[in-house]
A and B are shown apart, each in its own frame.
Chain A
Amino acid sequence: MILQVKNPVVEVHDLTVSYDRKPVLWGIDLTLPAGALVGVIGPNGAGKSTLIKAMMNLLPVSSGYVRIFDQPLKQVYSRISYVPQRESVDWDFPASVFDVVLMGRYGQLGLFKRPRKADNDAAMEALEKVGMQGFANRQISQLSGGQQQRVFLARALAQNADIYFMDEPFAGVDIATETAIIQLLRLMRDEGKTVIVVHHDLQSASDYFDWVVLLNMRLVASGPTEQVLNQELLEQTYGGKLTLLSKVGDLLRKQEFPAREKS
């Protein structure tokens, strides 16, 4: 069930990525529609993070190419933003929340230019969107996990890009932050932005995403959520690893359970 779309925002063609000559992603061919909230889902080690990193050219690829907005990546850097995994940076770094959010403006500023008032305003506005405006001068080492994630999100928002890649934004955050983030992501989608999210929680997936990419080294499925999240495809993705999964898939399909209790 791999659905290709017309006029895709992201086009991945025959992408293979290897670590140390061992392929971790094999022959990925997919297209993603504009203005969608896309979930990339699969078991641990399936290459979910690798896929989005390869889409942004952060990793050397063995074969294949990626086009974004029908252009090579180099020409559209300013329209792309990235929210890396929270653990990927040192949170004891001597920087304030505002310093980090302002980094979102660096790409547009270009070489030798200092941030101006417009950039400071954009950073403050982004902080307000994630509800962290009161923390602008706070040291980043004093933040909780959820607050760190909001700061990263604000940094991406400050960039005002058209496509956002997010690596596990819901990992290890409190429920209030998770709700706040998903609301924000929906808002962004409604503004016509494309948001691609690496996600590990199957339960919430059907509720959160419009489009789901199922991945386990190979591409198992890519299509609208309701067509993709079914037992057969989930079993193909997760293999026989968990019998529980088929039950979860069943329940999800029948919608007996809400994906998460609404607060």
Chain B
Amino acid sequence: MNAFWIILTGSLVATCCSLLGCFLILRRMAMVGDAISHAVLPGIVIAFMFTGSRDTIPMLIGAGLLGVLTTFLIEFFHRFARVQADAAIGVTFTWLFAIGIILISVFAGQVDLDQDCVLYGEIAYVPLDLIITEGGLSMGPRTVWMLAVVTLLIGLFIVLGYKELFLTTFDPAFAAAIGISTSLWYYLLMGAVSLTTVASFESVGAILVVAFLVAPPATAYLLTDDFKTMLGISVLLGTIASFAGYYLAVWLDGSIAGAIATVTGIEFLLAFLFSPTHGKLRRQKRVQTVGH
């Protein structure tokens, strides 16, 4: 049963992250996901200090606000200080993350959080934190329920806003010309990334979130030329990585999050070499057959 919950957790995180990641990588903003996943830390700590509990809702709000603040700061530095986009990202998130670390270390005695947990998470503990009804019936892990709700929200967001997200990603100038607000959809997308990040961070950690945001979409990009198919493939790849990563970790007796991230990397490498459309090896083969 534990294996089931852990794999389900991984798959839910993989689903939200890879769906949003498809939009991020096509907007050339993959690293904004990285930035948000780190920069939400002070938001989480501040929310904790205000409420004194590790309730999900205040933390989601605190982290969500910080996530949006991060994207706003990145835009601000890029546009008004005229720093390069990647430099603006680098400055913003390291700075916010560092503030979060200081907050944690200063209030270490009172805060039930630590840096390792934020970075690497502990997916293996997911099945321990169960929701138990008054009748004593176990409803399954708290994290799984939360992630299921978040996945549903993200799925709904993408289904309902598909047209606008697709258009503002492909051609923002045309979108603006026909009256679709590009900044509204930009901030909605970033809000969704913040929500996903904070909902996933305590179970899988920031690094696996970044891996899921970038690797499955990048792999899917190599495998298809159709955007909807790309969304589907990246979810599938993320889920496969959760399965394979879990059993790899069991076999190696190592970190589950680490193993899952490793599998996403291996998937990318395989797609890079063998993709029917973009694969390096396939292309060479095709050239050879033409040559002979």
Contacts and interface: CB of A to CB of B under 8 A. Distances in A.
Contacts of A24: none
B176 A58 contact: yes
Interface in B209-259: 221, 224-227, 229-230
B26 A90 contact: yes
A93 B175 CA distance: 16
B167 to A, nearest CB: 5
A89 B163 CA distance: 17
Contacts of B179: 74, 77-78, 107
Contacts of B65: none
B186 interface: no
Interface string A149-160: 000000100010
Contact of A94 (B175, B177, B230): B230
A93 B22 CA distance: 11
A145 interface: no
From DSSP, what is the main secondary structure of chain B's interface residues? Answer: helix
B171 A81 contact: no
A93 B26 contact: yes
The interface residues of chain A, by DSSP majority, are classed as mixed
Nearest to A113: B163
A141 B225 contact: yes
B180 A88 contact: no
B170 A106 contact: no
B75 interface: no
Interface stretch (A25-33, A96-104, A170-178, A219-227): A96-104
B174 interface: yes
Contacts of A95: 166, 170, 226-227
Nearest to B178: A107
A84 B170 CA distance: 12
Contact of B171 (A89, A96, A109, A165): A89
A106 B178 contact: yes
Contacts of A80: 177-178
Interface in B132-175: 160-161, 163-164, 166-167, 170-171, 173-175
Interface in A206-259: none
A226 to B, nearest CB: 31
Given A80-B178, A94-B226, 10 more contacts: A20-B82, A58-B177, A77-B179, A90-B26, A93-B170, A103-B171, A103-B174, A106-B167, A107-B179, A114-B163
24 contacts: A53-B173, A56-B176, A56-B177, A58-B173, A58-B176, A78-B179, A82-B177, A82-B178, A88-B173, A90-B26, A94-B26, A94-B221, A95-B170, A95-B226, A96-B226, A99-B227, A100-B170, A103-B171, A103-B174, A106-B167, A107-B178, A113-B163, A139-B225, A155-B174
